Structure 1
Amino acid sequence: MIARIPGSKSITNRVLLLAAAAAGPTRLDDPLESEDTVAFRTALTDLGVPVEVGADHWEVGGAGGAPTGPARIWCADAGTAARFLPVLAAAGQGEFRFEGTEQLTARPLGPLTRALAELGAGVEPGGSGGLPLTVHARGLRGGELKLDSSTSSQYLTGLLLSAPLMREPLTVSVAGLVSRPYIAMTVALMRTFGARVTETTDGRDSTLRVETGGYTGTRIRIEPDASTASYVFAAAALTGSTVTVPHLGRDSLQGDLRFVEVLAKAGARVEIGADATTVTGTGPLRGGFEVDMGDISDTFMTMAAVAPLADAPITIDGIGHARLKESDRIAAVAGNLRALGIRVEDGPDRITVHPGTPVAATIACHRDHRIAMAFSVLGLRVPGITLDDPKCVGKTFPGFHEELHRLFGPQAS
């Protein structure tokens, strides 16, 4: 079966910012149309960047630099908007106010706001240290900076994306970087738009240097979202089916494609080709292993949700930063599995799921799209699983439930 997976949210929103800052127009082919990307796109238009929306592409009229205020930006639930766009604004001139939903307002911004102040911006965070955030922009000077990225790589990504717009080259030293594949994605996309970036690494410590010079508009095709693909890949493994995701192959920019390696540990057959990835279920899932999913933490919920049907316990570790996402994802997964009658042990950065026979229950989604989609996969094998907020999948994949039903029929009802 061929799965229809929408474009990558991570790539779409990064490319939107790069295109907005670039000299000349940029065309995005097959961008993701979802709540988060529409929020990001709308924020750019509020910053004065023209975006034309076609049936299967977007055209962004590049501003050739950073924006001029004043402007008021609604980030909705989009963490990328709240963490990327304030840096772009700070590289410009004027006053900018960033606001978001209650859920987004609760997410931390401290490392980013401290970095902006050090680079020369006037910053007024909200009472919780995050949104609502007011930026008094007078350009960013660049230079040397140390950044805490132990809880999120998005702080570093936000600084890197706007670094070519700063007055001097930016050198960032990062200790304890999590989700490193997202930084590799960011750097690759920046280079596509003409940026000069160098990186040296030592374990989880990195130093990145970005030269000044801005960006040049281009044309780019957005890959299918690898995090979203994890659900259909897991569903194939769980149901003994074969699912192929086209245009997501060995040269993908997305580290989350490595989720299929975890499925291979669990017994699935995996084929990663030049322009497609295929997963085939070969029988009951195998357990009895421990896996570090820190670099692909957006997919740990997918594995944890189906782990009760494995033949031995599965332990996932390295995922402490997942507690600071749309929800405390470790606690949310553990709580839902216990509601299904499954034995679970969880700690600050890990979860162990034991085999069992799940019972019918309503899943508490916590307004988190990934919780909803992960447990929908388990629902293919466990009758009576329902979601308390099925529409929250609209954050990244509005058509998720329909596509799961198309692929797996009555099992996905």
Structure 2
Amino acid sequence: MAPNTAPPALWPAPHASGAVDATVHVPGSKSVTNRALVLAALASEPGWLRRPLRSRDTLLMAGALRAMGVEIEETVSSSSSAAGGPDGTGEAWRVLPTGLRGPATVDVGNAGTVMRFLPPVAALADGPIRFDGDPRSYERPLHGVIDALRVLGARIDDDGRGALPLTVHGGGALDGGPVSIDASSSSQFVSALLLSGPRFNQGVEVRHTGATLPSMPHIRMTVDMLRAVGAQVDTPESGGEPNVWRVTPGALLGRDLTIEPDLSNAQPFLAAALVTGGKVVVPDWPQRTTQPGDRLREIFTEMGGFCELTDYGLVFTGSGAIHGIDVDLGDVGELTPGVAAVAALADSPSTLRGVAHLRLHETDRLAALTKEINELGGDVTETADGLHIRPRPLHGGTFHTYEDHRMATAGAILGLAVEGVLIENVATTAKTLPDFPELWTGMLGQ
């Protein structure tokens, strides 16, 4: 922190005086928005993104693509809010793939999708593209993408760090072909290569060699979105080899895509229904989706809630009781902070497994959750691949966020049941969930 920089303000997490009863319009999915931006930028014709998420991570992605020569025009209907309504009005982005070129400098912030998805895109540009970001971004693993791109024919200067900052010297094309990577630390390594694969001269064949592969739903999301724009993708699920994905070279279509609500960002609001024994409705919850957040229906039902998926959206109701859970979150690691917060308020212990990779996220989420919940009186211990949580009476205090949006929303969940929780730097939620404090107090009718 700079000497003259004031510490982030402390936000008093609202305490629930009774059962919540609210309808919450959750903004669009970050994961879908950023994948859609990349695919539209690589397409052979213009495309539309309707109801995109406007947050720090998505604006960084759009800004990065603009820096590389892609035109993105923004429009907002005067008849609706920027978040968009059920009729499809609201904000829309028109993406004109006008060619990728350097020199350019890309600010990735601390966005994993930007720092990992765009170096393969930059390899297709004419000219050098420099990538830089927040100090924490220097510590996040990027070697899987860097090493793979070199095998596929790209020239990258990273001074041997395997991390940011770095420069990709785009040559206007990339050979592509087969490559082996260890994506144990992030499934985004696989998605990054698949998204640009159709534009490589030989396509790409990605073989994962590691012992584990977290967040498989995010890879399935990448594959589904590639197929929706005309790409041919062979996967282990479609009869291919285990841990091998093949993308055939070819042109990508411009699409008119409406972005789904971000189901992972619905977590704190559903948790509020569980914690207070109330009811929360999330409109436009998709009947079918590859978003990992859809697993919340199963997890929170097991922890004591009831859910009904209707044509309007998801209706989630708390029973007034919160039960502990023993669950493998390896495919849905981003849900861990919110599940941990609910588990700390449960009537029995919980064990969260399969999430060792969270130590490499925006912060070391396992260490951060342990420290912050315990400082409020909790009893959380780290395991080799997760957390063990024994509920204890909690008290107020400062809940630090480590510039991690999901830590901030976890603290808000605790604050519903525990008076006097002060969240440091709640503004970090703008990374994926803009206007979270307003949405939260609106849900509570405060």
Q: What's the Cα RMSD here?
A: 1.6
- Equivalent position amino acid for 1:109 in 2: L
Structure 2: 5+ residue stretches without partners: 1-21, 77-90
Name the counterpart of 1:78: 111
- Equivalent position amino acid for 1:168 in 2: Q
Name the counterpart of 1:333: 369
1:26-72 residue CA offsets vs partner (Å, 9 max, x unmatched) = 11110000111111101111011011111211111123xx6222221
Which residue among 94, 98, 106 is the counterpart of 1:59?
94
Distance 2:118 2:205 in 1: 20
Name the counterpart of 1:137: 170
Return the TM-score normalized by structure 1. Answer: 0.95
Name the counterpart of 1:44: 65
Name the counterpart of 1:376: 412
CA contact (8 A) 2:302 2:323 kept: yes
Distance 1:203 1:106 in 2: 34
CA contact (8 A) 1:106 1:128 kept: no
Name the counterpart of 1:395: 431
1:76-105 residue CA offsets vs partner (Å, 9 max, x unmatched) = 222211101110111333211111111112
Distance 2:149 2:45 in 1: 27
Deviation at 1:362, TM superposition (A): 0.4
Which residue among 5, 22, 29 is the counterpart of 1:8?
29
Distance 1:349 1:214 in 2: 41
Partner secondary structure for residue 379 of structure 1: helix
CA contact (8 A) 1:249 1:275 kept: no
1:275-308 residue CA offsets vs partner (Å, 9 max, x unmatched) = 5222100112012x31001111101110101212
Name the counterpart of 2:339: 303
Partner secondary structure for residue 54 of structure 1: strand
Which aligned pairs between 1:79-94 and structure 2 lie closer than 5 A? 79-94=112-127
Partner secondary structure for residue 378 of structure 1: helix
Query: Structure 1 residue 101 and structure 2 residue 139: aligned?
Result: no
Distance 1:340 1:203 in 2: 49
* Residues 1:203 and 1:385: Cα distance change in structure 2 (over 3 Å): farther
Name the counterpart of 2:262: 225
1:200-225 residue CA offsets vs partner (Å, 9 max, x unmatched) = 15999521110001211110000000
Percent identical among aligned pairs is 38
Deviation at 1:401, TM superposition (A): 1.0
Which aligned pairs between 1:135-284 and structure 2 lie closer than 5 A? 135-138=168-171, 139-175=173-209, 176-201=212-237, 205-273=242-310, 276-284=313-321
Deviation at 1:249, TM superposition (A): 2.6
Return the TM-score normalized by structure 2. Answer: 0.88
- Equivalent position amino acid for 1:352 in 2: H
Partner secondary structure for residue 366 of structure 2: helix
- Equivalent position amino acid for 1:159 in 2: L
Distance 1:333 1:400 in 2: 20
CA contact (8 A) 1:314 1:353 kept: yes
CA contact (8 A) 2:408 2:423 kept: yes
- Equivalent position amino acid for 1:284 in 2: A
- Equivalent position amino acid for 2:422 in 1: T
CA contact (8 A) 2:284 2:313 kept: yes
Distance 1:312 1:268 in 2: 15
Partner secondary structure for residue 308 of structure 2: strand
Distance 1:293 1:273 in 2: 26
CA contact (8 A) 1:307 1:355 kept: yes
- Equivalent position amino acid for 1:218 in 2: R
Which aligned pairs between 1:282-361 and structure 2 lie closer than 5 A? 282-287=319-324, 289-361=325-397
What is the aligned length? 407
- Equivalent position amino acid for 2:54 in 1: E
Q: Structure 1: which 4+ aligned runs deviate by more than 4 Å?
A: 201-205
Larger relative contact order, structure 1 or 2 (CA cutoff 8 Å, min sep 6): 2
Distance 1:128 1:145 in 2: 20
CA contact (8 A) 1:233 1:260 kept: no
Distance 2:334 2:159 in 1: 27
Distance 1:3 1:303 in 2: 19
CA contact (8 A) 1:98 1:132 kept: yes
Partner secondary structure for residue 409 of structure 1: coil
CA contact (8 A) 1:250 1:275 kept: no
Deviation at 1:73, TM superposition (A): 1.2
